[in-house]
Amino acid sequence: MRIIWRALINAVAIAVAAYFVPGITWGNASYGFGDADKYLSLLLTGLVLGVVNAFIRPIIELISMPITCLTLGLFHFVIGALMLLLVSAIPGLGFQVNGIIAAFLGAIIIAIVGLVLSWILPD
């Protein structure tokens, strides 16, 4: 049940990031459910982002630990942007990030919204 909560939190955070950052779009996929395709795309993107952050991100952070220490932790935002770009490379999701700047700003917004929603919503 917890993975569904995380997927919903990620989906809301992605929607907020897409609202504020012009280079991020979602809902460009067709699954055959009509108007629900848009929200199914958002939920699947949130689920995939959660899986990527759970499995791939720790490996990347371990490898990049020296540069993260040199930048006093600011490289974590670059890693978040790279994870967004990785998720946007999956064609069936209907999620697009146009450029590293949009990914960087989106990663910051997704981190903030995800943190606030994790505080508000119970586990």
Q: Choose among 96, 92, 111: nearest CA to 40.
A: 92
Strands (DSSP E) contained in the chain are: 24-25, 96-97
**Up-side HSE of residue 71: CA atoms within 13 Å toward CB?**
12
Q: For residue range 17-76, what is the model confidence (pLDDT) as tens digits? A: 999 999 999 988 888 888 888 999 999 999 999 999 999 999 999 999 999 999 999 999
Q: For residue range 4-24, what is the model confidence (pLDDT) as tens digits? A: 888 999 999 999 999 999 999
CB-CB contact of 21 with 99 (8 Å): no
Please state the pTM of the whole predicted model.
0.91
